[in-house]
Amino acid sequence: MNRNKLCATVDEAAELASVAPAVIRQWAEDFDFPSMKIGQRGGKRLIHLDSFNAWLAKRCQARIGE
């Protein structure tokens, strides 16, 4: 994936996070998840990469010690 890219698709984000695309879609239901829908009829979901990495780091930090 292009390092200069600002946003990723659901499939690209899933690959980066080593999870299934369905997990990304589930996470996207969270208010603080850094994504947006583009287009009509459900459209395409884009995930802002810098914010996604920060969101993942925050979630991991909260789970340390489990």
Q: Is 18 inside any structural domain? A: yes
Task: Report the pLDDT value the prediction gives residue 31, as an integer from 0 to 100.
Answer: 82
Q: Is 37 inside any structural domain? A: yes
Q: Is 38 inside any structural domain? A: yes
Q: Is 2 inside any structural domain? A: no
Res. 15: pLDDT tops 70:
yes
Task: Report the pLDDT value the prediction gives residue 12, as an integer from 0 to 100.
Answer: 96
Q: Is 30 inside any structural domain? A: yes
Reduced to 3 states (helix: H, G, I; strand: E, B; else coil), residue 46 is strand
Distance CA 7, CA 48 (A): 4
Distance CA 34, CA 59 (A): 13
Supply the range of the domain harboring residue 34.
Answer: 7-63
- What is the count of structural domains for the chain? 1
Q: Is 57 inside any structural domain? A: yes
Task: Report the pLDDT value the prediction gives residue 2, as an integer from 0 to 100.
Answer: 59
Task: Report the pLDDT value the prediction gives residue 30, as an integer from 0 to 100.
Answer: 85
Query: Considering the entire predicted model, what is its pTM?
Result: 0.81
Q: Is 1 inside any structural domain? A: no
Distance CA 37, CA 40 (A): 9
